[in-house]
Amino acid sequence: MSGYRIAVVGATGLVGQTILEVLDEHRVPVQSLVALARQGGGRTVVFRGQSIEVEPVASMDWSRVDVAFFAAGNAVSDEYAPKAALAGVTVIDKSSRFRMDPTVPLVVPEVNGDAVGDARIIASPNCSTIQLVVALAPLARRFGLERVIVSTYQAVSGTGREAVEELEQQTRRQVEGEGLGDPEVYPVPIAHNVLPYCDQFMDQDYTGEEWKLMRETSKIMDQPVRLSATAVRVPVYVGHAESVYVETREPWTLDQVRAVLSEGRSVRIVDDPARGLVPTPRDAAGTDEVWVGRIRADVHEPKGLHLFVVSDNLRRGAATNAIEIMQQLGPRWGLGGAR
């Protein structure tokens, strides 16, 4: 086979579009690509300079592809992923529909690539979970985890295209003296604001996004991680940031922590405050790495460590993770294995 035969469900959305970009940038061999969305309606997407007509997912003949990336929300994954898998397609699902299903592996290749096994449906974690576990896993392996407390600062692109448009419109209206207008995507304006929730409130007054971070981390790391999260939405277009407090089981020095983190695949340490080098969403946007900085010891707790962890939620937090899962499975279709 000369390359992957791929379907992208949600090809017109932010994650779907980023999948097309990353496939191209990473020079992934692609034999054919089917772009799927709610309706076709004469729309096209561009892949490697070629226009591809968007087709409705409802009429997809799944025998046309080997792999399908699902990036169209839970309802679409619920309805079509099992059908695609039954037809022999390997589904890599970006929605949260199957993430906590014990029969479905939840995979971040840097952390638990082996969990993939021979599964036909593979779940890719929440964007804020991926960057967190990429930074935590090397520390957990070396020093053990006693306790983790995370506060996120999440970009609007994590919500999807409509949220990006809402922030753009509110910002423009404000500059033009029209006021922010009525919010539609979030309950209150996001421009010039910070929302101390990213999702619906659920059990114990934690939001859905916070429960995802807490539950998914333990599943991926294959151990009960004592993690508490506060997930916050900020008026940033791309790039989630996280303030992470880690208490380890074993003692460490900051030099050891830096050495362990720098061995982590996909980790980029940016940590020289004296020279103004700290990780920010603007810098991380457009990259595939997890940027880690503000590495410092807690003032009171000898095994307490603080980190600031940033990554591009559409790339490392979605498209790149999904594509690397596919590449790891390349031998299924006679193609090269992990990168």
Ligand X SMILES: NC(=O)c1ccc[n+]([C@@H]2O[C@H](COP(=O)([O-])OP(=O)(O)OC[C@H]3O[C@@H](n4cnc5c(N)ncnc54)[C@H](OP(=O)(O)O)[C@@H]3O)[C@@H](O)[C@H]2O)c1
The number of C-alpha atoms within 13 Å of 307 and in the hemisphere containing its C-beta is 28
Q: Report if residue 38 touches ligand X, rule: CB under 6 A.
A: yes
Contacts 24+ apart (CB under 8 A), 293-301: 293/269, 294/243, 295/254, 295/257, 295/258, 295/261, 295/269, 295/271, 296/254, 297/254, 298/245, 301/247
Q: Which is nearer to ligand X, 41 or 331 (CB)?
A: 41
Q: Report if residue 287 touches ligand X, rule: CB under 6 A.
A: no
Q: Report if residue 72 touches ligand X, rule: CB under 6 A.
A: yes
Which of 19, 33, 37, 137 touches ligand X (CB under 6 A)?
Answer: 37
Q: Clarify whether 198 is annotated catalytic.
A: no
Q: Nearest CA to 236 among 269, 278, 284, 275?
A: 284
Closest separation between CB of residue 229 and ligand X, Å? Answer: 16
Which of 7, 14, 137, 234 touches ligand X (CB under 6 A)?
Answer: 14
Q: Could you give the residue ranges of the DSSP H alpha helices within the chain? A: 14-25, 74-86, 109-112, 127-143, 161-175, 208-221, 254-263, 281-284, 320-328
Q: Report if residue 12 touches ligand X, rule: CB under 6 A.
A: yes
CA dihedral 110, 1, 333, 126 (to 10 degrees): 40
Site for ligand X in 298-337 (CB under 6 A): 313-314, 317-318
Site for ligand X in 127-146 (CB under 6 A): 127
Site for ligand X in 247-276 (CB under 6 A): none
Contact (Cβ atoms closer than 8 angstroms) between residue 234 and residue 310: no
- Rounded Cα distance between 33 and 44, Å, is 12
* Max Cα distance, the chain (Å): 61
Closest separation between CB of residue 58 and ligand X, Å? Answer: 7
- Rounded Cα distance between 106 and 102, Å, is 9
Q: Report if residue 152 touches ligand X, rule: CB under 6 A.
A: no
Which range binds ligand X by CB under 6 A, 68-76, 109-117, 224-232, 287-295? 68-76
Contact (Cβ atoms closer than 8 angstroms) between residue 131 and residue 241: no
Q: Report if residue 189 touches ligand X, rule: CB under 6 A.
A: no
Q: Which is nearer to ligand X, 130 or 329 (CB)?
A: 130
Considering 198, 240, 300, 306, which one is annotated as catalytic? 240
Closest separation between CB of residue 56 and ligand X, Å? Answer: 7
Contact (Cβ atoms closer than 8 angstroms) between residue 163 and residue 13: no
Which range binds ligand X by CB under 6 A, 69-77, 175-183, 200-208, 295-303? 69-77
Q: Report if residue 73 touches ligand X, rule: CB under 6 A.
A: yes
Residues annotated as catalytic are 127, 240
Chain contacts with ligand X (rule: CB under 6 A): 10-16, 37-39, 57, 71-73, 76, 94-95, 127, 157-158, 160-161, 313-314, 317-318
